[in-house]
Amino acid sequence: MTHTTALDLLVVEPSPMQRKILAQACATLGLPAPRQAEDSAQALAAMAQQRPDIVISALYLPDRPGTALVAAMRADPALEDVPFILVSSETRPQALDPVRQSGVCAIVPKPFTPEQLGQAINATRDMRAVEPLADIDLDLDDLKVLLVDDSPHARRCIRQVLEQLGLRHFIEAGDGAEAAAILGDTMVDLVVTDYNMPEMDGKALVEHIRQHSWQTSVPVLMVTSEQDASRLAAIENAGVSGICDKPFDPGTVRRLLQRALARG
């Protein structure tokens, strides 16, 4: 259950019925009534007046899609780090992937229960309060982490969590091919990569690392929105050290990294 700490929540939803359902769910969770907006223009105006702690938005808005709203937020220095939770009945990957790539913190299915909303809110808050890695005989400040994702927003989101875990030294790449070139002459201690990328995807990057790189044993964590079981199995067979969903749960990232780095 969500803690009762006062949060400034902004709900962006064109349907009065859905806004009422969200407000009732917040009340059930012991949260104050959220501010409300019917479209992205109202939402951005409300955010300009007062920066919210979390934005909870539908995907399809009257003036532009939720993907455009989160893109506008990420382009504004005052709003770029505001957590974004999507509430949607949409299941098509082509519709959800742009939101996942934007660094969305959670996706809640519609219809939803208050418990599901509470879990998403708690996971979002946990991203701001992740305990540092422990029981690892390594100096985290000195570890070099290669972040690979074609979305700068997604890279920033995972980097924020890794920084809270105690990691400090990051190198970033926009796709697998760029990452492979970096690995050719730069030693790293950990690779965190997306799966779906142009030029060279995450699976091909893992295969390159395990079969052709001089750093064949470096731990590789895959953070991906991929849901196809056969593709996920192929990623595991390629030699990935761990797979985490996107949007990711910080606790899961922590456990996977602790295990991977301990083995490394």
The overall pTM is greater than 0.75: no
Q: What is the pLDDT of residue 114?
A: 93
pLDDT at 24: 96
- Over range 44-55, report the average pLDDT: 96
Asked if residues 171 and 145 have their Cβ atoms less than 8 Å apart, the reply is yes
Q: Using the predicted structure, report yes or no on whether residue 205 has a pLDDT greater than 80.
A: yes
Per-residue pLDDT tens over the stretch 98-114: 777 776 778 898 899 99
pLDDT at 257: 78
Residue 187: predicted pLDDT = 94
- Provide the H-helix boundaries in the chain: 16-28, 40-49, 66-74, 93-101, 114-126, 152-164, 176-185, 202-211, 229-238, 250-263
pLDDT at 167: 85
- Give residue-wise pLDDT tens across range 103-149: 677 889 889 999 999 988 987 776 655 566 666 666 777 889 999 99
Output the pLDDT for position 256. Answer: 77
Cis? peptide before 32, omega within 30° of 0: no
Structural domains of the chain sorted by starting position, each given as residue range(s) with its CATH number in brackets: 9-126 (3.40.50.2300), 140-263 (3.40.50.2300)
The answer to whether 89 and 110 have CB atoms below 8 angstroms apart is yes
| Spatial distance between the Cα atoms of 255 and 191, rounded to a whole number of angstroms | 15
Q: Report the percent of the chain where pLDDT is more than 90.
A: 45
pLDDT at position 49 over 90: yes
Residues 245-255 have a mean pLDDT of 72
The pLDDT value recorded for residue 133 is: 65
Exposed/middle/buried for residue 235 (C-beta within 10 Å: 0-12, 13-18, 19+): buried
Instruction: State the average pLDDT for the chain.
Output: 85
Which residue would you say has higher pLDDT here, 245 or 182?
A: 182
Residue 224 pLDDT: 80
Alpha-carbon Rg for the chain, nearest whole angstrom, is 19
For the ranges 79-83, 142-146, 212-216, 251-255, which has the lowest average pLDDT? 251-255
Q: How many residues does the chain have?
A: 264
Per-residue pLDDT, 40: 96
153-170 pLDDT, tens digit each = 778 878 888 888 888 899
pLDDT of residue 231: 78
pLDDT at 246 (0 to 100)? 72
